[in-house]
Amino acid sequence: MTLSIGMVGTGWFAKVHADLLAGMEGVKLAAICGTSKDKADAMARSYAAQGYGEITEMLDAHKLDAVYVCVTPGAHGAIERTLIRRGIPFFTEKPLGVTTEIPASLLQDIQDSGLLTSVGYHFRYQENVQRLKKLLSGDKIGMVVGQWMGSMPGAPWWRDQERSGGQFTEQTTHIVDLLRYLAGEVTEVYGMFGNRVMHEKHKGVNVADVGTVSLKLENGIVANISNTCVLPGEVGKVGLSFYNDRGLLDWNPQRLLETREGESQEYANTGNPYVTESEAFLQAVRTGDRSGILSDYADAYRTLKVTCAAFESAKKGAAVKL
């Protein structure tokens, strides 16, 4: 059976997912919905799909098996609500929103209806993250330190807190999500953020450009995750390190380094986690077996709660308990 798929969004990541879907057997990207029909038509031509400017028109015209939602963080809400009402499984890119309010009410409806969902925390599907999870099992983790130190993306929405949620919620969310996936649930956060450089360099920047967040986990682990977007494009540091009495496990998106008990081993990355995450979602749509989905809406909501609590804590100047 060929799955008929719809896409909401016509930007960079909608195209990344559309290209992957186009290369898969038994899948047809049938319809694309954008902020205007013109934009949707322009993208749809590359995939022999139909373009729409309204999601309801797209859903009325096609019997879709699932929809991918690849929109800016501040645009979440009405799209998912429409899909939930019509009972259409969806995959959505992270983060679920810029604050927890709308996602909390969507989560309630998703749980009431039992709708199938999946969220784009693709690092969970990386072979090295699965290896790391195995290496950590049985270890008593001492502490975890992570970071997303990079440059500022060019998209105007990214630089606006109301539309992106800020770097910690939009980008560093991947590191927070990995912390939860690999080390446990977060119970308390204390965030500090600052606007050092970027608002003076570029117009329309109101997101913090530096920040550090201390986190306490329910199992007693303490962690720190920091981020900045002040760097020039050519340098950066993204990753997560686990420290315990056997040594150090140091992960970054390119490789995993195990340095324990006097020995060191490096594991390079293989495979494409974006393909694995889509295959897991589509397999669930086809068969109803959700076991391959490593991040659903409920799980991703817990990651959003942590990142939003970090901003709330910074505003209060005090730790926030979750």
- The residues, any chain, with a CB within 8 Å of residue 121's CB and separated by 6 or more, are 94, 174, 177, 181, 277, 294, 295, 300, 303
Among 3, 4, 11, 188, indicate the residue that binds ligand NAD (CB under 6 A). Answer: 11
93 binds ligand NAD (CB under 6 A): yes
In whole angstroms, the minimum distance from the beta carbon of 233 to ligand NAD comes to 16
Choose between 93 and 296: whose C-beta lies nearer to ligand NAD.
Answer: 93
Q: Which of 22, 24, 42, 75 binds ligand NAD (CB under 6 A)?
A: 75
155 binds ligand NAD (CB under 6 A): yes
Select 34 or 103, whichever has its Cβ closest to ligand NAD: 34
Regarding 73 and contact with ligand NAD (CB under 6 A), the answer is: yes
Q: Minimal CA–CA distance to 34: which of 65, 72, 88, 63?
A: 72
Q: Fill in the per-residue mask, 121 to 140: x = in contact with ligand NAD (CB under 6 A), - = not in contact.
A: -x------------------
DSSP 179: H
Cis amide bond preceding 95, omega within 30? yes
Kindly tell me which residue out of 31, 59, 72, 311 binds ligand NAD, with binding defined by CB under 6 A: 72
Q: Taking CB positions, which residue lies at the least distance from ligand NAD?
A: 11
Give me the least distance between CB of 135 and ligand NAD, in Å please.
Answer: 24
CB-based contacts of 178, cutoff 8 Å, min separation 6: 123, 124, 129, 146, 240, 251
Render the burial of 97-119: b for 16+ CB within 10 Å, e for the rest. bbbbebbeebbeebeeeebbbbb
User: Which of these segments, 72-80, 104-112, 183-191, 278-286, binds ligand NAD (CB under 6 A)?
Assistant: 72-80
Q: Which residues bind ligand NAD (CB under 6 A)?
A: 8-14, 33-35, 70-73, 75, 93-94, 120, 122, 155, 170
